[in-house]
Structure 1
Amino acid sequence: MTFSNAQRQAMAWAAIAAAALLLLWLLAPVLMPFLVAAVLAYALHPAVEALARRRVPRMVAVGLVEAGAILALLGLLLLMVPILSKELPLLREQIPMLAARLNETLAPWLAEYGIDLKLDIASIKAFVLKYLDANLEDWLATALSSARIGGSFVLAIAGNAVLVPVVLFYLLMDWPRVVDRARQAVPPRFRPAVEGFVAECDAVLGQYLRGQLLVMALLAIYYSVGLALFGFDLAVPIGVFTGLAMFIPYLGFGLGLVLALLAGVLEFQSLYALVSVAVVYGSGQVVESLFLTPRLVGERIGMHPIMVIFALLAFGHLFGFIGVLVALPVSALLVVAVRRMRVAYLGSRLYLG
């Protein structure tokens, strides 16, 4: 059986693609920090190029941009400090009181239905004093003990925390050369089509990132103002954390909701906390899901609001949490591909007959 030149070329490309996918699957644990660094380099290289155009030495520009990104991440994590420093003492004081109140109100109500439930207040107090009244030395001892138990996991996290910034630095330093080598790897006859496709994808992803950042900023302001209007002492750190964490769909909202509920229950100790959090976060989720993300992100990447909602649900169903995380950027690339396939189809013999 003989094959034509086109068939042989198609089989060769299919074999190369299969070998690349197999290699990616086998090396997935090793490649993860490199992929994370590559994604960060793609997002940060415009800032480096902007500084380089202003005659800032490239090494200095890379160092400034990477340091800014690390400081932004640390700032997001440090938002938890005032929350924990205020909530932990309140937890230590209020948990035994809340348990006693539940015994007084919930236990008689359950007894009417034949359910005998009574909380052991002494055990709860001992637990709280043991784990929430520990000093820094005790926390360090617990952390070191956990590190010995799960040493490989801790070492992997520590290794990635060091490896990702190093790889990111070298990628940002060599980004123009990396792009040029990737371009040279494309066969010359395919280069104009591939370059046009990549340029369109780059424009769409840039629009996505700008839209997502705008959504995060608006939500941070909304949640901070909403919680402040209801009298929350920690309105600003909780609201800003929730807004910035919305970059991770659902998980960021869930963490902010839990923090707000905890702060409200400990501060007000009444149904007022639950009602206020429900109003602020319920309305915020509706506005974000039905207006902000579809309008500010979906329209920027050329997707109808219904398609944005469908993409989030479909990718979440197929790939879980990772699918939700990459749903919109991957959908943006698919929009570009489908748009080009439609143009090719409308000009094909199959359509024109």
Structure 2
Amino acid sequence: MARKVDEKSDRQFVHRVLIVLGLTALFLIAWQLRTLLLMFFGAVVVATVFRALGDRLEKLIGCKPGIAVALSITIILGVAIGLVALFGSHVAAQVQTLREAIPAAWRAFEARMGDLGLGEQIKTLAQSIRAPGGSSFSAFGKTILSIGSGIADVLVVIVAGIFLATQPRFYLTGAVKLIPPTKRALALESIMESEQAMRLWLRGQLIAMIVVGLLTGLGLWALAMPSALTLGLLAGILEFIPFAGPILSAVPAILLALAVSPEIALWVLLLYFAVQQFEGYVLTPLVQQYAVDLPGVVLLFSLIAFGALFGTLGVILAAPLTVVCYVLVKRLYVIETLHTPTSIPGKGKD
């Protein structure tokens, strides 16, 4: 009898060891494929945009869901291609001018700081952020401009987003089948709530990006700044990244302004500050009336965490990742595990 008990105990021990080894192997594989997984999440974000506009078109013109999604994809891609055709060459020329002007602007800034007796401190700061094989600000400029590079990855994400948007139920059903039957209803409800929250967040963020880009571009144009269109476009795009985006967009503009005069640089700094104050205290409260409001501390530390774990791509996708994680934690842990009632971000809004 004791021998049978020992054999059963050994089998249980081996079974648990195999489970731990399997989970460890799965984690290591996921870690090695983390970039691919983030690209997949980016495709989910793209599909969410297509589906959101498709649902609006379905309600407005009363067409079938498949036709509405096809129209949505056509409209969004058509607008993007049209903007590239209209302004692409002009933006490309301004980008090249910007890349050539930033190193000269940095040298002018170092010279001005040297006149004020701060030359050594500035050189120390530059050396602390210097990248191997290049000057500090040429590397910084490449980092900013690399956000618009990686064309192959962007195309893969867009194509995958189109597939997800055209057949969402097929992929959703397949994903839910991987979950134990008793938990499938809860998993499906959590996924739908996450999608709704991300839709609302994306809608609010799109409004903020457009307004910030327009205000910044027009303000720089009024100040007679070079590459005003490109800098305004950069400000709008980087608004997608919370906290860090506005700072990254302001740096090249201020450097270019310093190459002209300290007075212009001060006006440019005030412009970016005013735009961000307007976005923070006027635009965001208005948008959040029908969008998703994330706690600032959660968003800030999520940005740092995803950036440390996944690099630049993690920073870019930090906000939508935080929205999804925030909803899942509330639904699956706070409500289902702790049995504590709490509101789900975006639930009941449209």
Instruction: Place the TM-score, normalised by the shorter chain, in its bin.
Output: 0.5 to 0.7
Cα pair distance change 1:321/1:289, threshold 3 Å: farther
- Cα displacement (A) at 1:274: 0.8
CA contact (8 A) 1:299 1:305 kept: no
Partner residue, 1:274: 265
Residue 72 in 1 paired to residue 80 in 2? yes
Partner residue, 2:238: 245
Partner residue, 2:216: 223
CA contact (8 A) 2:38 2:313 kept: no
Give the whole-Å Cα distance in 1 for the aligned partners of 2:322 and 2:195: 13
* Greater displacement, 335-344 / 315-324: 315-324
Q: CA RMSD in A?
A: 5.1
Residue by residue over 1:2-43, the C-alpha shift from the partner in whole angstroms, topping out at 9 and shown as x without a partner, is: 57xx99999888666545433333445666655543442233
Higher relative CO (Cα under 8 Å, sequence separation at least 6) belongs to: 2
- Cα displacement (A) at 1:279: 0.8
Partner residue, 1:42: 48
Residue by residue over 1:271-316, the C-alpha shift from the partner in whole angstroms, topping out at 9 and shown as x without a partner, is: 2221111111233345556775688569943533444344445544
What is the aligned length? 298
Q: Percent identity?
A: 22
CA contact (8 A) 2:235 2:246 kept: yes
1:89-108 alignment, distance < 5 Å: none
Q: Give the one of 327, 331, 334 matched to 1:342.
A: 334
Cα pair distance change 1:330/1:78, threshold 3 Å: same
* Greater displacement, 165-174 / 26-35: 26-35
Give the whole-Å Cα distance in 1 for the aligned partners of 2:100 and 2:297: 46
Q: Give the one of 166, 169, 193 matched to 1:176.
A: 169
Q: Give the one of 19, 31, 36 matched to 1:25.
A: 31
CA contact (8 A) 2:95 2:230 kept: no
CA contact (8 A) 2:48 2:199 kept: no
Give the whole-Å Cα distance in 2 for the aligned partners of 1:337 and 1:55: 33
* Greater displacement, 283-292 / 272-281: 283-292
- Cα displacement (A) at 1:194: 1.5
Residue 203 in 1 paired to residue 174 in 2? no
Give the whole-Å Cα distance in 2 for the aligned partners of 1:196 and 1:57: 21
Structure 1 residues not aligned, in runs of 5+:
114-155, 349-353
Cα pair distance change 1:237/1:30, threshold 3 Å: closer
CA contact (8 A) 1:234 1:263 kept: no
Structure 2 residues not aligned, in runs of 5+:
1-5, 121-148, 341-350
Give the whole-Å Cα distance in 1 for the aligned partners of 2:42 and 2:98: 38
Partner residue, 1:55: 63
Residue 188 in 1 paired to residue 194 in 2? no
